[in-house]
């Protein structure tokens, strides 16, 4: 590996950090190694407000269906709200800013009332009970967080669907979860204009969603929407009459807390199922360790609640830690590329957590914008979602952090619930582009399929070789797929271990460098997309015979979608632009605009092995404009490769 600069934690950060030396880090790692259950037992006892104590820390009897803190009882909303009321009822829990500039500050006491009223509404008006599924399709407004917490209050399982997903994608998720209620909003604001969500729900529910009994609509932009009598309900009216107290449902540690759908390499999105105690424990702990959250801090994560980052690091983690968490409705470049920096100045943000794609965009559109603002409140910067390139890293570090703020490059996944590999800001010497080391208690290792640890500079499978509290429990309704997807690739000491889907490399000093997905998943602007899903969508265009989709490196998005399409007819593609537009419309309809192709090549055939398997590696090389190194002589029709190269590279 190339030599890269190393940045030690500055005295400014060491002074305030809970964990402020590598010695302390290694000490914690060793504790976890020597007594794994004891390590977690101590933390769970210290951090969680249990209603009833658990009787067993970890139950491995049905591995890989691991159970944590077995027999314990709690309600995560007590952990996130009630327990803070004694000491911080008037502290801001959520600070929200709308894109047009409107503001709301919700104190912990207000949050308590909002969530309790919402919970009472779910129970009394819609008969939602423990275990029922509620789909939340919302913009970035405080009511999205209230809705999640209201579900948790009464033991309902929420499934938040990102507001950028199409009606078809929403319907798939509603059907899979068999949701009883959909919570949505009329719409919100984006790029200075209203955009609508409720009409998307209407389309989704127009077909095959019998499980849904009602739709609850929050008013945000007050644009005109259609009301369906006996199905749609006005949140803003109904909430007024709700009592402000709702006894929490007492939940078992292992009861499901939420589902969150994410893409895999094959088939439909999977409903990743998380449970109560282990999840909330790790959400809170990582806020303390990785963001070093303190009572006086203002913390801002720019994610959307529709992704796991929004779940763990806007809602559950910060609130469990008793922090002030910011929420912003709109895009980073409205009205200009200084919007976020202006907000950091105005709210004196101390921790700022965002995605490499956003950093690259803001760097490109406003390299000097950060200079215009006072960003001296910042202590810690964070990134998540994809590897960050050194250019973007250095700009973030120097311009936004003024060389004073460690960057925590956090590697994790929907399935891991919270951070797995990350620097500790007061301890870890950081290298631009490396997520550095596993957090204490997390056994992330780069191995081969038999569990042998890889030597430095050798790519291997990024696995987590011991169960951890916030791990995925199963795929909703598909336990076999859970076992196969995550525990079917690698073993250690003969036992199946969790494989993340990512490849990674150790450098000479043991730093971990993520190389990206090893499966057919692509990462566009930090959004995880399955090539199989996009291919299925493209296949819905009547002229398409077959297709293959690959990721191609992109300056801002990280990866962009490149499709190779074989048409049924041989009428040629005189109307190429029109056809590309139509194909992208099908993708937008089936999945959402985030999955649109940047490039589509119409080709006479796809490179396939004699057994019919598409050689995506060859297509990836062609898309990148690389020389083909693979042996093509064993292909069913080797000449097709030349033809495709001709078409793509001219
Ligand atoms: C995939 C998980 C975790 C919340 C956001 C994405 C990639 C994530 C990093 C990082 C390099 C990263 C991986 C992973 N990824 N963080 N710091 N460096 N790659 O969650 O949608 O479940 O996607 O995102 O490829 O497998 P997700």
Which sequence spans correspond to the domains of the chain? Answer: 40-297, 520-649
pLDDT value at residue 269: 93
**Is the C-beta atom of 299 inside 6 A of ligand 1?**
no
Dihedral in degrees, nearest 10, Cα atoms 398, 399, 400, 406: 0
CA of 272 to the centre of ligand 1 (A): 15
CA of 438 to the centre of ligand 1 (A): 14
Pocket perturbation via mutation, ligand 1, pick of 356, 386, 434 by most ligand atoms within 8 A of CB: 386
Q: At what angle do helices 277-289 and 36-47 cross, to 10 degrees?
A: 90
pLDDT band at residue 1 using 50, 70 and 90 as cut-offs:
low
How far is C-alpha 25 from the geometric centre of its chain's CA atoms?
A: 26
Q: Per the annotation, does 300 bind a ligand?
A: no
Helix H or strand E segment including 145: helix 142-154
| Nearest atom (ligand 1) to Cα of 500 | 26
Q: Which residues are registered as beta bridge partners of 400? A: none
CA of 500 to the centre of ligand 1 (A): 10
Q: Are 259 and 275 in contact (CB under 8 A)?
A: no
Helix H or strand E segment including 599: strand 597-602
Q: Per the annotation, does 412 bind a ligand?
A: yes
**Is the C-beta atom of 171 inside 6 A of ligand 1?**
no
Phi, psi at 141, each rounded to 5°: -130, 155
pLDDT band at residue 3 using 50, 70 and 90 as cut-offs:
confident
Mean pLDDT calculated for residue range 247-267:
95
| Nearest atom (ligand 1) to Cα of 388 | 18
Q: Per the annotation, does 129 bind a ligand?
A: no
Distance CA 172, CA 174 (A): 6
Q: Per the annotation, does 494 bind a ligand?
A: no
**Is the C-beta atom of 512 inside 6 A of ligand 1?**
no
Contacts of 216 (CB under 8 A, 6+ apart): 121, 126, 181, 182, 183, 184, 232, 233, 235, 238
pLDDT value at residue 480: 98
Nearest CA to ligand 1 atom 19: 386
Contacts of 339 (CB under 8 A, 6+ apart): 330, 332, 333
CA of 354 to the centre of ligand 1 (A): 12
Superfamily of domain 520-649: ANL, C-terminal domain (3.30.300.30)
**Is the C-beta atom of 386 inside 6 A of ligand 1?**
yes
pLDDT value at residue 267: 80
Phi-psi label, residue 272: left if phi above 0, alpha if psi -120 to 50, beta otherwise: beta
Among the listed residues 141, 113, 150, 153, the one whose alpha carbon sits nearest the alpha carbon of residue 240: 113
Task: For the beta carbon of residue 193, count every other beta carbon within 10 angstroms.
Answer: 10
pLDDT value at residue 629: 84
pLDDT band at residue 460 using 50, 70 and 90 as cut-offs:
very high
What letter does residue 63 receive in the DSSP assignment? T
Secondary structure class of 564 (helix, strand, coil): strand
pLDDT at 78 over 70: yes
Residue 262 buriedness (CB in 10 A; 0-12 / 13-18 / 19+): buried
CA of 384 to the centre of ligand 1 (A): 6
Distance CA 182, CA 174 (A): 8
Reported in sequence order, the residue ranges of 98-218 that DSSP labels E, i.e. its strands, are 103-107, 133-137, 157-160, 181-185, 187-190, 193-196, 214-218
Residue 46 in tokens = 């210290």
Secondary structure class of 89 (helix, strand, coil): coil
C-alpha distances in angstroms, 118 versus 152, 161, 241?
A: 11, 19, 11
Q: What is the CATH number of domain 40-297?
A: 3.40.50.12780
Among the listed residues 312, 361, 352, 362, the one whose alpha carbon sits nearest the alpha carbon of residue 328: 352
Taking the chain, what is the end-to-end CA distance rounded to the nearest angstrom?
34
pLDDT at 343 over 70: yes
Least confident of 45-49, 224-228, 355-359, 638-642: 638-642
C-alpha distances in angstroms, 128 versus 48, 109, 161?
A: 26, 24, 19
- The pTM for the full model equals 0.97
Q: Are 580 and 542 in contact (CB under 8 A)?
A: no
pLDDT at 167 over 80: yes
pLDDT band at residue 264 using 50, 70 and 90 as cut-offs:
confident
Q: Per the annotation, does 51 bind a ligand?
A: no
Q: Are 536 and 594 in contact (CB under 8 A)?
A: no
Q: Are 584 and 578 in contact (CB under 8 A)?
A: no
Secondary structure class of 26 (helix, strand, coil): helix
Portion of the chain with pLDDT greater than 70, in percent: 99
| Nearest atom (ligand 1) to Cα of 528 | 21
Q: Who has greater pLDDT, 573 or 584?
A: 584
Mean pLDDT across the chain: 96
Distance CA 149, CA 155 (A): 10
Predicted-complex ipTM score = 0.99
CA of 308 to the centre of ligand 1 (A): 10
Distance CA 317, CA 418 (A): 9
Secondary structure class of 566 (helix, strand, coil): strand
| Nearest atom (ligand 1) to Cα of 526 | 6
Pocket perturbation via mutation, ligand 1, pick of 161, 353, 387, 528 by most ligand atoms within 8 A of CB: 528
Residue 560 in tokens = 């962009």
Contacts of 127 (CB under 8 A, 6+ apart): none
Tokens 């090549």 -> residue: 601
Domain 520-649 in the same topology as domain 40-297: no
| Nearest atom (ligand 1) to Cα of 501 | 26
Distance CA 347, CA 299 (A): 9
pLDDT band at residue 631 using 50, 70 and 90 as cut-offs:
confident
Distance CA 539, CA 257 (A): 35
Q: What share of the chain is helix, strand, coil (3-state, %, to 5)?
A: 35, 25, 40
Residue 182 in tokens = 């959909």
Among the listed residues 591, 478, 601, the one whose alpha carbon sits nearest the alpha carbon of residue 536: 591
Residue 390 in tokens = 């050194």
Nearest CA to ligand 1 atom 5: 385
Nearest CA to ligand 1 atom 6: 385
| Nearest atom (ligand 1) to Cα of 527 | 21
Nearest CA to ligand 1 atom 17: 411
Task: For the beta carbon of residue 371, count every other beta carbon within 10 angstroms.
Answer: 12
pLDDT value at residue 574: 76
CA of 461 to the centre of ligand 1 (A): 15
pLDDT band at residue 575 using 50, 70 and 90 as cut-offs:
confident
Mean pLDDT calculated for residue range 460-466:
98
pLDDT at 393 over 80: yes
Among the listed residues 467, 592, 608, the one whose alpha carbon sits nearest the alpha carbon of residue 546: 608
Q: Per the annotation, does 385 bind a ligand?
A: yes
Distance CA 406, CA 403 (A): 8
The predicted-structure confidence for 141-160, as pLDDT tens digits, reads as follows 999 999 999 999 999 999 99
Q: Per the annotation, does 544 bind a ligand?
A: yes
Portion of the chain with pLDDT greater than 90, in percent: 94
Q: Per the annotation, does 356 bind a ligand?
A: no
């Amino acid at each position: 590996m190339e030599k890269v600069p190393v940045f030690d934690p500055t005295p400014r950060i060491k002074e305030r950090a809970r964990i402020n030396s590598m010695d302390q880090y290694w000490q914690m790692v060793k504790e976890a190694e020597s007594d794994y259950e004891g390590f977690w037992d101590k933390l769970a006892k210290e951090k969680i407000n249990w209603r009833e104590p658990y009787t067993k820390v970890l139950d491995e009897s049905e591995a890989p269906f691991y159970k944590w803190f077995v027999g314990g009882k709690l309600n995560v909303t007590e952990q996130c709200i009630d327990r803070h009321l004694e000491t911080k009822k008037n502290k801001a829990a959520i600070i929200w800013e709308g894109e047009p500039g409107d503001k709301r500050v919700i104190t912990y006491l207000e949050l308590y009332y909002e969530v309790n009223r919402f919970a009472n509404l779910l129970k009394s008006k819609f008969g939602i009970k423990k275990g029922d599924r509620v789909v939340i399709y919302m913009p970035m407004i405080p009511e999205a967080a209230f809705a999640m917490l209201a579900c948790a209050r009464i033991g309902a399982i929420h499934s938040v669907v990102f507001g950028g997903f199409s009606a078809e994608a929403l319907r798939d998720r509603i059907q899979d979860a068999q949701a009883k209620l959909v919570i949505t909003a009329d719409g919100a604001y984006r790029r200075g204009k209203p955009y609508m969500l409720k009409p998307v729900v209407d389309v989704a529910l127009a077909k095959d969603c019998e499980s849904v009994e009602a739709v609850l609509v929050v008013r945000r932009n007050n644009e005109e929407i259609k009301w369906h009598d006996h199905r749609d309900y006005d949140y803003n009216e109904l909430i007024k009459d709700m009592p402000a107290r709702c006894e929490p449902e007492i939940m078992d540690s292992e009861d499901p807390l939420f589902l969150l759908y994410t893409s895999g390499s094959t088939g439909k999105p999977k409903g990743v199922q998380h449970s109560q105690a282990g999840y909330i424990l790790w959400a809170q702990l990582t806020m303390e360790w990785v963001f070093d959250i303190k009572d006086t801090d203002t913390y801002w994560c720019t994610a959307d609640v529709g992704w796991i980052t929004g779940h763990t690091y806007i809602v559950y983690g910060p609130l469990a830690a008793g922090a002030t968490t910011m929420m912003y409705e709109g895009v980073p470049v409205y009205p200009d590329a200084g919007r976020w920096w202006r907000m950091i100045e105005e709210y004196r943000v101390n921790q700022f957590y965002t995605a490499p794609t956003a950093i690259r965009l803001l760097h490109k559109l406003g390299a000097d914008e950060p200079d215009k603002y006072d960003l001296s409140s910042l202590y810690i910067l964070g990134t998540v979602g994809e590897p960050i390139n050194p250019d973007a890293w250095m700009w973030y570090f120097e311009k936004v952090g003024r060389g004073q703020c460690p960057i925590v490059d956090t590697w994790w996944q929907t399935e891991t619930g919270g951070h797995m590999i990350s620097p500790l800001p007061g301890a870890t010497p950081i290298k631009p582009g490396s997520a550095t080391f596993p957090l204490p208690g997390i056994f992330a290792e780069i191995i081969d399929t038999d569990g042998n640890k890889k030597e430095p500079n050798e790519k291997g499978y990024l696995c987590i070789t011991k169960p951890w509290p916030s791990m995925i429990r199963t795929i909703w309704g598909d336990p076999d797929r859970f076992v196969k997807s995550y525990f079917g690739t690698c073993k250690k000491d003969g036992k199946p271990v969790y494989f993340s889907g990512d490849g990674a490399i150790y450098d000479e000093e043991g730093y971990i460098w993520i190389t990206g997905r090893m499966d057919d998943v692509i990462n566009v602007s930090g959004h995880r997309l399955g090539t199989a899903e996009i291919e299925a969508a493209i296949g819905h265009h009547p002229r398409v015979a077959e297709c293959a989709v690959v990721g191609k490196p992109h300056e801002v998005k990280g990866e962009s979608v490149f499709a190779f399409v074989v048409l049924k007819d041989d009428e040629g593609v005189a109307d190429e632009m029109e056809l590309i537009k139509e194909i992208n419309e099908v993708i937008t309809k089936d999945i959402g605009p985030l999955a649109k192709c940047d490039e589509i090549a119409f080709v006479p055939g796809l490179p396939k092995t004699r057994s019919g398997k598409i050689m995506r590696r060859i297509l990836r090389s062609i898309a990148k404009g690389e020389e083909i190194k693979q042996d093509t002589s064993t292909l069913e029709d080797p000449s097709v490769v030349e033809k495709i190269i001709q078409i793509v590279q001219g």
